Amino acid sequence: MEELTAIRHYLHRHPEVSQHEYKTQEYLLGLLEKLDADSIQKTANTGILVTFKGQLPGKNILLRADIDALPIQETITTVYKSVTDGVSHKCGHDGHSTILYGVAKHFSANRPQQGSVYLLFQPAEENGWGARNVVADGFLNKLDIDFVFALHNLPGFPMHTIVCKTGSFTSSVVSLAAFFKGYTAHAAEPWNGRNPAAAMSRYMVRALELNNEDKPAYVTVTPVHTQMGEKAYGISAGEGEVHLTVRADSNERLDSAIEQLKQFATQEAEKELLDVSFKLIEPFESNQNNADAVAIINKAAISNNVVYEDIKEGFRFGEDFGIFTNIWPGAMFGVGSGKDCYPLHHPAYDYPDEITDTGIKMFVQIQKEAQEA
């Protein structure tokens, strides 16, 4: 644990944002290349895929950890605080990476008895493109994967508690930007132009009416940014944009909400003789936990003598591991970080080193339990 804690602290001191994890990749490769792995490959530009082949045929398991940090100025004052201004590990991915390295050390010394283990150090989880880029690389399609698993540290739950559920574990999320385009006029004669203000206002009101907090079938629409015209007080604005973040419990419900929002924007633009275009930003698919995979996690928790909590509702945040669980059977679970700690993405949040061993033991036991599934 002393070595693992030192690794986690190094990663914390040297954070890199999504799709720029070059030094993180270099550091992890330096550690992994000292181990007895069957193969080590770069993937998705800044990620790493490590393979440990089993002694006998069996279920092949992919275990994933994310490695990217966030554009947040942290406020902790520990000796391992971030040395990069405005960037920090406020989601605990430094801990996830350390856990997966610990798993790599284990399988280097103790080859799986059955089935192969693939360890994915995945970049760019925070912007939703990491898992997509890994899949696009095509490496995983060449592997006979039976199950995929990932974990996330979870503030608000007792330390070491394993948190999971079948079905929607994290939300399906995307940001929808609508761009309204008309043309400018003199502010004294706005009727000579095409000002988007009325269309944008009506669109925003209609968008918020889509909010549905029924459980478990929810849709949440959150306005995050608007912009219109310039600070030029003699000019009637000619264009503007509205950015909404939309989340739902399933991919299907999210897709339906996005289509409705596009219809609303188009209808309101037509009333004002405006053009409208759209852009989807940072898409996350809902993490759909497979029942057999959840049962494996439950058995692993029992074998490790840790508390297992079957939650009733999934989490509202997005997690791009949903890309994998929509392709292969699998599940994501949480490891409690403590009931009284700061929440994820808070400037003062710091992953607790105490749960690293719990994460390693869970992943190792999951590989064993999966052979019986």
Under 8 Å CB-to-CB from 33, ≥6 apart: which residues?
40
Listed in sequence order, the DSSP H helices in the chain are 2-13, 22-32, 93-109, 130-137, 197-208, 251-271, 291-303, 322-325, 356-370
Residues forming beta bridges with residue 212, ordered by sequence position: 219
Q: Are 30 and 89 in contact (CB under 8 A)?
A: no
The per-residue DSSP string of 223-236 comes to EEEEEES-S-TTEE
Of 199, 210, 271, 203, the C-alpha closest to 246 is 210
Predicted TM-score (pTM) of the model is 0.92
Instruction: Kindly state the tokens that stand for 188.
Output: 């004294």
Angle of CA points 152, 309, 322, to nearest 5°? 40
Residue 216: what pLDDT? 81
Q: Are 104 and 37 in contact (CB under 8 A)?
A: yes
Of 349, 327, 319, the C-alpha closest to 125 is 319
Q: Is 3.40.50.300 the CATH classification of the domain at 2-166+290-370?
A: no
Q: How many Å from the N-terminal Cα to the C-terminal Cα in the chain?
A: 31
Gap between the Cα atoms of 61 and 63, Å rounded:
6
Q: Are 17 and 129 in contact (CB under 8 A)?
A: no
Residue 373: what pLDDT? 82
Gap between the Cα atoms of 207 and 190, Å rounded:
26
Using H for helix, E for strand and C for coil, what is the string for 322-366? HHHHCCCCEEEEEEEEECCCCCCCCCCCCCCHHHHHHHHHHHHHH
Under 8 Å CB-to-CB from 186, ≥6 apart: which residues?
192, 193, 234, 235, 236
Residue 360: what pLDDT? 98
Q: Name the packing angle between helices 93-109 and 2-13 (round to 10°).
A: 140
Gap between the Cα atoms of 152 and 318, Å rounded:
12
Gap between the Cα atoms of 149 and 298, Å rounded:
13
- Quick check: helix, strand or coil at residue 176? strand
Q: Name the packing angle between helices 197-208 and 251-271 (round to 10°).
A: 150
Percentage of residues in the chain with pLDDT exceeding 90? 98
Residue 338: what pLDDT? 97
Q: Where are the domains of the chain?
A: 2-166+290-370, 171-284
Residue 319 vs residues 172, 184, 201, 366, 372: alpha-carbon distances, Å: 8, 41, 31, 21, 28
Gap between the Cα atoms of 49 and 39, Å rounded:
8
Domain topology for 171-284: Alpha-Beta Plaits (3.30.70)
Gap between the Cα atoms of 46 and 26, Å rounded:
9
Gap between the Cα atoms of 171 and 101, Å rounded:
28
Instruction: Kindly state the tokens that stand for 68.
Output: 């990217």
Gap between the Cα atoms of 300 and 279, Å rounded:
42
pLDDT beneath 70, residues of the chain: none
pLDDT in tens, 63-116: 999 999 999 999 999 999 999 999 999 999 999 999 999 999 999 999 999 999
Give the length of the chain: 373
